[in-house]
């Protein structure tokens, strides 16, 4: 029996690059969670720059969108605390993300960012957005359980 996870695993076995692995991860997210917007960011703490490395919406959120890593609530929760960043209303998102108007214009109003670490260091985040109040406790737990280890495997491949 083919499952979304077994399909991801088969694609990951063949992936030569991180981009190919991220493509497989995007298909896994689509098949299991179906969130409206899914992006993957990498983090460079030497330059304090986060870079969008993968997206399911290249028009609104293209790959290579760079932004500074600011020491804000996101930084405290995700980078320092290693916790997921969850905001379930557009008003809450607006307090942290300067692109909140674009987010709202896409019909999105909640966000879940899952930190990805390798060898104890933060390497990136999985970023999921959907309608307001989408990320309840059960959805967050399911997302982390389903995606954290596959994402770690993806980040091990060369960029």
Distance CA 63, CA 66 (A): 9
What is the distance in angstroms between the CA of the first residue and the CA of the last residue of the chain? 32
Tens digit of each residue's pLDDT, the chain (159 residues): 899 999 999 999 999 999 999 999 999 999 999 999 999 999 998 899 999 999 999 999 999 878 888 888 888 999 999 999 999 999 999 999 999 999 999 999 999 999 999 999 999 999 999 999 999 999 999 999 999 999 999 999 998
pLDDT of residue 1: 85
Domains of the chain (ranges, CATH numbers): 33-150 (3.30.450.40)
d(Cα 145, Cα 159) in Å, to the nearest integer? 24
- Round to whole Å and give the CA distance between 122 and 98: 22
Share of the chain above pLDDT 90, in %: 87
User: What distance in Å separates the CA atoms of residue 127 and residue 42, rounded to the nearest whole number?
Assistant: 11
Q: Show Cβ contacts of residue 19 under 8 Å, excluding neighbours closer than 6 positions.
A: 53, 54, 159
**Whether the model pTM is above 0.85:** yes
pLDDT of residue 73: 87
What pLDDT, on the 0 to 100 scale, is given for residue 104? 98
Hey, is 95 helix, strand or coil?
coil
pLDDT for the residue 100 = 96
Tally of CA atoms within 13 A in the half-sphere of 57 that contains its CB: 15
Half-sphere exposure of 59 (CA within 13 A, CB side): 1
Give the pLDDT confidence score for residue 159 in this predicted structure. 85
């Amino acid at each position: 029996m083919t499952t979304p996870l077994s399909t991801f695993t088969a694609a990951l076995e063949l992936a030569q690059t991180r981009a190919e692995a991220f493509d497989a991860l995007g298909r896994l997210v689509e098949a299991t969670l179906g969130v409206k917007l899914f992006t993957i960011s990498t983090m460079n703490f030497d330059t304090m720059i986060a870079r969008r490395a993968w997206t399911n919406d290249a028009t609104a959120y293209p790959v290579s969108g760079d932004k500074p890593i600011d020491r804000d609530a996101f930084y405290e929760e995700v980078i320092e605390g290693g916790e997921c960043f969850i905001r379930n209303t557009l008003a809450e998102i607006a307090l942290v993300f300067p692109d909140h108007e674009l987010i709202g214009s896409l019909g999105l109003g909640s966000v879940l960012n899952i930190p990805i670490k390798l060898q104890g260091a933060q390497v990136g985040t999985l970023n999921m957005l959907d309608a307001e109040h989408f990320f309840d406790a059960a959805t967050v737990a399911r997302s982390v359980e389903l995606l954290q280890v596959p994402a770690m495997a993806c980040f091990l491949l060369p960029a």
